[in-house]
């Protein structure tokens, strides 16, 4: 998927905590040597008590040890550039069995917020342009199918594959959330899942410019889940688009 979106992909697997920290430092160093438009940092692992668990079973505070390393003071090369974190691991032991909706339930309408005229600034806040997507909310497990992978990344691949060129990333996150909300395990427990997105000073419109062909062999159908969410493409949006001169960087850990 990320190669299809034009990223240079770096993969690290089965790392201990010290190796993870070293890989992050090496990853950041590249931005001092090569001009990039953004970075994506992806973690797929086990979790415990809200923390990441390394290959040796040690817990890592993702907020303190990883995300903060990419704030403006700690990573000047990425100041003003999008920084996307995709975090796939359990954040607790609680299972989400869902709540039955009353028959007269109606979906709330979104608020219409007027435009604000912004003044030019000469100084950035300490934290800007950071968008974080956690596969689940605090305290809950992150569901995974043994054949097709995690529910969250199934939804993400499906949405990005079909909409990355024409739909802003935050709108795509909304689409991912709606699809994920409709997923349900086929066992008697009918498990559910909610993903969480955190916006830290990310106010631009971000679109991707795919430069290749996505792997059509990737199957997002999950034999343990039902997926019945309609998708809507939005055309001709004006926003932040990158030029395909230097590949963006993404670290899959």
Q: Which of 1, 44, 234, 52 is nearest to 151 (CA)?
A: 44
Please work out, in degrees rounded to the nearest 5, the angle formed at the alpha carbon of residue 40 by the alpha carbons of 248 and 29: 70
Query: Does residue 148 have an active-site annotation?
Result: no
C-alpha to C-alpha distances, 218 to 3, 64, 150, 208, 233, nearest whole angstrom:
14, 34, 13, 20, 21
Cβ distance 164 to 210 under 8 Å? yes
As beta bridge partners, residue 248 has: 7
Cβ distance 95 to 149 under 8 Å? no
Report the alpha-carbon distance of residue 65 to residue 123 in Å, rounded.
25
In the DSSP assignment, the letter for residue 117 is P
Report the alpha-carbon distance of residue 173 to residue 199 in Å, rounded.
11
Q: Please measure the distance between the N-terminal and C-terminal CA atoms of the chain and give it in whole angstroms.
A: 15
Per the structure block, which two tokens stand in for 172? 């795509």
Catalytic one of 39, 42, 75, 90: 90
Burial of 136: CB neighbours in 10 Å, binned 0-12, 13-18, 19+: buried
Per the structure block, which two tokens stand in for 113? 């917020």
Per the structure block, which two tokens stand in for 71? 């704030």
Which sequence positions are flagged as catalytic? 46, 90
């Amino acid at each position: 998927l990320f190669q299809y979106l034009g990223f240079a992909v770096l993969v690290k697997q089965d790392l201990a905590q010290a190796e993870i920290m070293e890989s992050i430092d090496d990853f950041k160093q590249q931005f001092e040597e090569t001009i990039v438009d953004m970075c994506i940092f992806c973690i797929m692992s086990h979790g415990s008590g809200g923390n990441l668990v390394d290959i040796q079973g040690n817990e890592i505070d993702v907020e303190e040890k990883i995300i903060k390393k990419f704030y403006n003071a700690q990573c000047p090369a990425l100041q003003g550039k999008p920084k996307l974190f995709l975090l796939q691991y359990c954040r607790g032991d609680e299972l989400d069995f869902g709540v039955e909706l009353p028959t007269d339930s109606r979906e709330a309408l979104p608020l219409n917020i007027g435009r604000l005229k912004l003044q030019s600034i000469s100084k950035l806040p300490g934290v800007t342009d950071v968008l974080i997507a956690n596969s689940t909310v605090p305290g809950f497990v992150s569901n995974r199918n043994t054949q097709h992978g995690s529910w969250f990344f199934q939804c993400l691949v499906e949405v990005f594959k079909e909409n990355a060129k024409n739909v802003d990333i935050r709108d795509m996150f909304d689409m991912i959330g709606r699809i994920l909300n409709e997923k349900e395990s086929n066992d008697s427990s009918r498990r559910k899942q909610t993903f969480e997105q955190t916006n830290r000073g990310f106010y631009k419109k971000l679109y991707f410019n795919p430069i290749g062909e996505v792997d059509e062999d990737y199957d997002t159908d999950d034999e343990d889940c039902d997926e019945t969410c309609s998708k809507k493409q939005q055309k001709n949006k004006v926003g932040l688009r990158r030029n395909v001169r230097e590949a963006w960087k993404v670290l899959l850990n």
